[in-house]
Amino acid sequence: MSEVKKIAVLGGDGIGPEVVGEALKVLKKTEELFGYKFETEQALFGGIAIDEKGTPLPQETLDLCLASDAVLLGAVGGPKWDSNPAALRPETGLLGIRKALGLFSNIRPATVFDCLKDASTLKPEVLEGTDLIVVRELTGGIYFGEKSRRDTENGQEAIDTCVYNEKEVERIVRQAFDIAMTRSKRLASVDKANVLETSRLWREVVIRVAADYPEVELEHVLVDNCAMQLLRRPASFDVIVTENMFGDILSDEAAMLTGSIGMLSSASLGEGSFGLYEPVHGSAPDIAGQGISNPIATILSVALMFRLTFGYHDAAQSIEDAVKAVLDAGHRTGDIAVDKSSAVGTNAMGDLIVAAMKK
């Protein structure tokens, strides 16, 4: 009998609970098809937690996550909380949960479906064969370095310090190499080693770790060149690994290759197999409650969970194949539909994908 996997479910704000609801249908179908067992428990997180508990990350939510094998998150935030002080903003809960759960890497796949190539702003022939993953370091770099201001003769001066140590670099790089080993065995390490000392350390560590992965073809790419090549030859990339700020920018650029941010899954991983999985898109409060949001990114996040945390590659492939089949059949939610009048709703898209899943 399959071991029961416990999943903490954080619907969050806006369309978050709607798209997570469709992902839960996929979990149930997976149990029926493959015999895997899941125990899910829902908890408050983000803006709704601020409203009901006075904090974006209640202790009971954090305790549930710590006691689970994985976390499935919808989305957080909205204009309702935009004027709150920093400690009472939904996004603060995201930073808090990443730190508390020891999540140091963000994994963002960007796959262009053949039937959706026309939805991208790039030419279809440029996008042909694009299927890449950006691995972004989450806990170091300029976002977390010391920050200060001081008065000078030219007025105020602001300082942001970029810091990385060897351990931080090695753990994210090894994770990227491990992921590359499960794919096409190609890794692009992105830095700015011609200018930055942190990037020179980054490159030194990458070269040292690469010796343990002789099967992986390693390429060093300067970040400005990588930004250009993502638009010029995106299909030449398989796995990209980079530091925090570079990864923040490049993963958003890669996201737009697909034509819709509503299609993109993500994972935040720590040591071992634990991970937090969520769609890349935001809470979209303008369409919340209308039943028109795209659940595909959240459903694909479940497939990512199966691959990276549980090792359920058969079930993950079933989900990914079902999504492709539904899209190939011409079904679209409003964000990716050319003819909006024929668009299907959130629930209908989830039902179509569940129906298309096969063992």
Among the options 131, 178, 252, 351, which is catalytic? 252
Q: Tokens for 94, please give them.
A: 């995201």
Residue 65: exposure state from Cβ atoms within 10 A (0-12, 13-18, ≥19): buried
Residues 252 and 270 in one domain: no
Write the pLDDT tens digit of every residue in 35-70. Answer: 999 999 999 999 999 999 999 999 999 999 999 999
Residue 112 located in a structural domain: no
Write down which residue in 219, 234, 258 finishes a domain. Answer: 258
Overall number of domains in the chain: 2
Residue 114 located in a structural domain: no
Range of the structural domain that residue 196 is part of: 121-258
28, pLDDT greater than 80: yes
252 is catalytic: yes
Residue 116 located in a structural domain: no
Write the pLDDT tens digit of every residue in 180-215. Answer: 998 999 999 999 999 999 999 999 999 999 999 999
Q: Where are the alpha helices (DSSP H) in the chain?
A: 16-34, 47-53, 59-66, 90-100, 124-127, 166-181, 197-210, 223-232, 244-255, 296-305, 313-328, 346-356
- φ and ψ at residue 16, rounded to 5 degrees: -50, -55
Q: In what order do the strands lie in the sheet with 70-75?
A: 37-42, 4-12, 70-75, 275-279, 265-269, 105-111, 131-137, 239-242, 186-191, 217-222
- Average pLDDT value for residue range 350-354: 98
126, pLDDT greater than 60: yes
Residues 97 and 68 in one domain: yes
- Comparing CA positions, the residue from 230, 277, 269 lying closest to residue 251 is 230
Determine the length of the chain: 359
Largest CA distance in the chain: 72
Residues 147 and 168 in one domain: yes
pLDDT the model gives residue 1: 55
DSSP letters for 174-192: HHHHHHHHTTTSEEEEEE-
63 is catalytic: no
271, pLDDT greater than 90: no
Percentage of residues in the chain having pLDDT higher than 90: 85
224 is catalytic: yes
Q: Which residues is 111 bridged to in the sheet?
A: 131
Write down which residue in 222, 239, 258 finishes a domain. Answer: 258
Among the options 178, 248, 321, 351, which is catalytic? 248
Residues 249 and 131 in one domain: yes
Q: How many helices (H) and strands (E) does the chain have?
A: 12, 12
pLDDT the model gives residue 339: 85
Residue 186 located in a structural domain: yes
Residue 109 located in a structural domain: no
Write the pLDDT tens digit of every residue in 80-117. Answer: 999 999 889 998 899 899 989 999 999 999 999 888 88
Predicted confidence band of residue 336 (pLDDT cuts 50, 70, 90): confident
Dihedral over alpha carbons 78, 83, 85, 86 (to 10 degrees): 40
Residues 99 and 154 in one domain: no
Write down which residue in 258, 289, 310 finishes a domain. Answer: 258
pLDDT the model gives residue 149: 94
- Average pLDDT value for residue range 212-222: 98
Among the options 224, 286, 314, 328, which is catalytic? 224
Residues 90 and 60 in one domain: yes
Among the options 99, 143, 185, 351, which is catalytic? 143
Q: Tokens for 324, please give them.
A: 């492709």
Residues 182 and 80 in one domain: no
327, pLDDT greater than 80: yes
Report d(CA 47, CA 42) in Å as an integer.
15
Residues 41 and 80 in one domain: yes
- Average pLDDT value for residue range 240-254: 95
At position 358, the amino acid (one-letter code) is K
Residues 299 and 344 in one domain: yes
Cβ atoms of 47 and 80 within 8 Å: the answer is yes
Q: Which residues are part of a known binding site for substrate?
A: 98, 108, 136, 224
- Average pLDDT value for residue range 9-13: 98
Residue 34 located in a structural domain: yes
CATH of the domain at 226: 3.40.718.10
Predicted confidence band of residue 341 (pLDDT cuts 50, 70, 90): confident
Q: Which residues are part of a known binding site for Mg(2+)?
A: 224, 248, 252
Among the options 192, 213, 277, 312, which is catalytic? 192
- Average pLDDT value for residue range 255-268: 86
Residue 237 located in a structural domain: yes
180 Cβ neighbours under 8 A, 6+ residues apart: 186, 187, 213, 216, 238, 239
Residues 4 and 66 in one domain: yes
114 is catalytic: no
Residue 320 located in a structural domain: yes
If phi > 0 it is left, if psi is from -120 to 50 it is alpha, else beta; for residue 72 that is beta
Pick the more confident residue, 232 or 259.
Answer: 232
177, pLDDT greater than 70: yes
Residues 192 and 177 in one domain: yes
Residues 235 and 172 in one domain: yes
Q: Which residues are part of a known binding site?
A: 78-91, 98, 108, 136, 224, 248, 252
118 is catalytic: no
307, pLDDT greater than 70: yes
